[in-house]
Structure 1
């Protein structure tokens, strides 16, 4: 079991590696038509009528081969660069440098990627001076910024990578390029995750999902879903990770650039669930895709995982072979951490096989590598200390000169200071008294404000409870009282018709009266259900929300996607009612004001934490300046009543996202009633 230790702790590393290969350069090639098969592109290259068309077709051919043959893709990119420089086609040269940067990132060649990215930036800067407002130049600059962000990611410079990604996002927002923007948002999410800001990371990942939502799903969403799945695995949320992988499955096609990463993340999901045979199969499926596009770093991690699984199964020869291949790849990449992991696992494998000499050799190599890393770290610390010492010494000399000058000034002004010191003391006492009086008044005002807020909260709670009780009473009276009376009247009228005491000329009018009576009874029951839904009281929050979303979708002709998780056992009745009213009010706002094309509702519970998110892609509003209306004030009051944290994020033209986070009290057990609608996703 010790052999699987590093493998079972890998989701966080997988998340970071995945973000480092999220590329944008391939999405911005200078071609107006959809990508063609490589054979058709070769034919188009032979029949190109001009040098410019030949450059564009060569770059498109290089892009088509990225997922299957990076070596040949690199050859075509170099050909496009040489032709562009020969004919003076600057846009072609810039995109050629960008494509070479993309391929170097896939190969994990950081030095080459940094060089190619700088060359692309230099050409783009020259074009910027000639035509700063050209849309294709903005798209080119956005691609360059994104790729340079990827290089900074590989080098661990996450603050720099975040700056590059934000620059790319600004340019793409100006262009309205949402499909490309979702890839940048995914990269931004990874940078914020590594910088220790998970809330920002999840916000950008959700924005990426919203940009690519709708049929057909954008192929660029595959790395976004994989990023979310890896994040959930790092948090121990295997159920949420499974939902993300389920959404990613249709996008993981053989021609996709990230199919290998999909199977690698799927293997981590199976490992988290202790499904070792399924994890092995997923790792085996990942390897051909990773090898074809030359993703050496990810290949090394997958080989390490397969080697550990082989060792766990007792196949030490196969384990040794795969671990040695992983070690060779790690040495080619000069990745010391990956090399240490391989050496440690190889040491344990050779010990299990009884090869003590080989185990000792691997152990000595790992110790030397650790000593080298420790020595490098010590040298860096010494250099930093020496720099700090020299800086401090210069600062002390400068401070000594300033102190001498200050002493001379003090000697000249000391007599005057003695004459004013009593006035200063008197002023200090006066100011102190005034400040003390102001502080006392401030505390009194603060106490009054706290009491007023407490009174407002009590009033709000009483008002909400009274509203719910009154709705129940009115719904009960309507359904049991007036509904029963109307049903009795219908019975009486029906008995008159059956007895045959009705004139023939009055029969149509009589039938029409009974039809109107049926419509009135149906409308009465609909009003009673809206006042207090029967599904909420009888079956719980999930079925009631399902009925509500179906009703909203049918009434407003707007797709409503509902996702719920962890609502069994049921919540407290008061909590279910308030959450239902909050979702009902937010859906009403989206239909009435936002002019949304799609609405997303998510209600997830993990242990005693509950997260509610309602998002739409409507026209949005400026949340920092706009005053909330009656509906949003009602939502805020209910959130305050529940003791939750409500956040509203919206910008004009970018939709609206309302999220509620709250900690639940101890669950109250309740019987689970059967109901035909008990979905976890809708």
Structure 2
């Protein structure tokens, strides 16, 4: 769950205006603007009833005056209204309608509104659990709001992106966007919006056990005046996590309770589930098992109400462990069964992947059956043709006596033979097409299976082995601080910890390479930039990425994934074999063509002698799957340039 989500208010607040008909001297446009300002003020005070009335009036005046900007602003505020009432599907629909209306305005008038619509719809998607779609909207919002110079809302976009990376356990990327958020400080009208940035920065330091840096970030946050009850609650919650991790459970409990006082009136079940869970863990560590059970039950109830499946899963597991800790075997078994049922529900995506694999296999079998049927039909037609030829020969002997009839029979025979040959050619062509389609389906099933296995192994490495190694590192760190070792042993102990750090970093790198989350969430350009940056940082190799024409809508997901794997494979070949100083990765897109060029200044090779290699055959198989063309230009001592052209008109996903 996100650490912080920012509810956007799209218009500046203004003093309340009386809800009365406009004077005759006031134009419809001016009256629409007044009603919009009044609605924004009412939404800020959570007065949804009157706000809805003002929005209806503003929309009526805007339609009467044909005022498209007013109609768009009314939809933006209507999205805010639904968001405040936690009606997220309705909010998303209103934001999308606002974006459609804004698209009809001149560029100078639509940038800020489109940014606000993207920010609001991204938050609505997040609260519905559609994280990837929400992130796409946030990045759109960054582009619009940066161009419009709306720095407070640009700050909100950066914080949402950083929060998502934090939840994905990618602290480096989360810290990158927090840094961008804090860099907006000079452009902000006041510093109140920076409080979530300090809170999230503190969370990153806490998770990394950098408690001194976490304390500094919390202190900076306390120096900023909170703007809402939720901001105050969030500050107390993170203070509680800090004290919990530093083993001061009394202080942690105090801050969690303070956060609860601010959150309970808001009534958000997801946030309440998180906070009750934190209170339960604290009570359990203080050996107050009755309070722990009470808070766990409240957390499970709120998680169920908010449809927070993962939080409910964690809470049921904690209830089972708590009951077992108290010797309540029957109760523990009950919670354990419910926990396993919740765990099974989290495997739905895995089940869908398995169904997808089965469906691909079924399609391949169907194509094979069609090929078999067509071959049988072709053989039957050939037999029929031979029979007709025999009959026609006999008839020809009789018809030779009659010249006119003979000529007619001969013409008919030739015509039938020609038609038969054409039918055979068509059948053979159809069989060839089906065989190619079967090969494509088989390749797709193979590639999908490879990617699913990569994802499974990456999760096992990251969540399983990675978590175990991190725990070992934490325990060893505790031992080092608690035990005084002789100098040689202390040096050996330190080197061991450094090697363990390196092992954890390497394991995470392998997991990232196997499961390209950046590709799935943010697109091909971002994912390739990450690959190039990581390679350039880890090797004495200058890696440059150039992209052209990729700012429009994304490519099909399967095409993006195959191109991403091709770039990975080509760069790995450069590192292993080329002995190059620099490499250029260039990806360009036109309306119906995608071209990938990877060029290095390395030693090159004899392409004629290397076509038998496994690596090139694997690369060729991926290119064939995309129905593309592969060209290799190289010679010993002259570097290598590999060009891959992929037609976009033929879908590869």
User: Normalization by structure 2: what TM-score?
Assistant: 0.50
8 Å CA contact 1:106–1:295 kept in 2: the answer is: no
Q: After superposition, what is the alpha-carbon deviation per residue over 1:96-133, rounded to whole angstroms, capped at 9, x for unaligned?
A: 544454465567x5xx423322233224313432x232
| Alpha-carbon distance between aligned partners in 1 of 2:344 and 2:107, rounded to the nearest angstrom | 54
In structure 1, the residue matched to 2:2 is 17
How far has the Cα of 1:350 moved from its partner? 4.2
Q: Is the 8 A contact 2:36 2:73 kept in 1?
A: no
Q: What does 1:4-83 correspond to in 2, within 5 Å?
A: 16-19=1-4, 21-23=5-7, 25-26=8-9, 28-29=10-11, 31=12, 35=13, 41=16, 50=31, 52-63=33-44, 65=45, 72-83=46-57
Please name the residue that 2:163 is paired with: 190
User: Quick check: 1:113 aligned with 2:88?
Assistant: yes
> How has the CA–CA distance of structure 1 residues 101 and 338 changed in structure 2, closer, same or farther, with 3 Å as cutoff?
farther
Closer/same/farther in 2, CA of residues 360 and 144 from structure 1, 3 Å limit: same
| CA shift in 2, pair 1:204/1:48, >3 Å | farther
Separation in 2, partners of 1:127, 1:218: 30
Maintained 8 Å contact 1:245/1:266: yes
Match of 1:235 among 208, 221, 229: 208
C-alpha distance in 1 between matches for 2:48 and 2:368: 56
Determine the structure 1 residue equivalent to 2:318.
345
What is the distance in 2 between the residues matched to 1:305 and 1:184? 27
Cα RMSD, aligned residues only: 4.3
Contact 2:202 2:213 (8 Å CA) reproduced: yes
- 1:168 matches 2:141: yes
> What is the distance in 2 between the residues matched to 1:310 and 1:275?
12
Tell me the alpha carbon deviations over residues 426-474 of structure 1, each in whole angstroms, 9 at most, x when there is no partner. Answer: xxxxxxxxxxxxxxxxxxxxxxxxxxxxxxxxxxxxxxxxxxxxxxxxx
CA offset digits 1:295-319 (Å, max 9, x no partner) = 3212111111112222333433333
What is the deviation of 1:241? 2.0
For residues 293-308 of structure 1, what are the structure 2 equivalents within 5 Å? 293-308=266-281
Structure 1 residues 48 and 298: alpha-carbon distance in aligned structure 2, compared to 1, 3 A threshold: farther
Which residue of structure 2 lines up, in the alignment, with residue 133 of structure 1? 107
SS of residue in 2 equivalent to 1:258: helix
Q: Provide the rounded CA distance (Å) in 1 between the counterparts of 2:328 and 2:173.
A: 50
| Equivalent residue number for residue 123 of structure 2 | 150
Structure 2's unaligned 5+ residue stretches are 24-30, 375-425, 434-500, 503-536, 545-653
Unaligned runs of 5+ in 1: 1-15, 66-71, 410-606, 609-639, 649-682
In the superposition, relative to structure 1, how do residues 22 and 399 fare at CA in structure 2: closer, same or farther (>3 Å)?
Answer: farther
* CA distance 1:275–1:296, shift in 2 (3 Å): same
SS at match of 1:293: coil
Q: CA deviation at 1:179?
A: 2.7
Larger RCO of the pair (alpha carbons < 8 Å, separation 6+) = 1
* Partner SS for 2:355: helix
Displacement of 1:229 after TM fit? 1.8
Determine helix, strand or coil for the equivalent of 2:223. Answer: helix
Give the Å deviation of 1:47: 10
Q: What per-residue deviation string (whole Å, max 9, x for no partner) do you get for residues 532-583 of structure 1?
A: xxxxxxxxxxxxxxxxxxxxxxxxxxxxxxxxxxxxxxxxxxxxxxxxxxxx
Between the aligned partners of 1:407 and 1:104, the Cα distance in structure 2 is 56
* Cα drift, residue 232 of structure 1: 2.2
Number of corresponding residues: 384
**Matching residue of 2:220:** 247
Describe the shift of the 1:253–1:407 C-alpha distance in structure 2 as closer, same or farther (beyond 3 A). closer
Distance 1:341 1:106 in 2: 28
Distance 1:326 1:98, change over 3 A: farther
Match of 1:310 in 2: 283
- Over 3 Å counting, the alpha-carbon distance change for 1:266 and 1:326 in structure 2 is same
Contact 1:300 1:330 in 2 (8 A): yes
| 1:358-437 superposed matches below 5 A | 358-374=331-347, 376-377=348-349, 379-393=351-365, 405=429
Q: Distance between the aligned counterparts of 1:312 and 1:193, measured in 2?
A: 26
Contact 1:77–1:96 (8 Å) recurs in 2: no
SS at match of 2:301: helix
Please give the alpha-carbon distance, in whole angstroms, between the structure 1 residues aligned to 2:298 and 2:78.
27
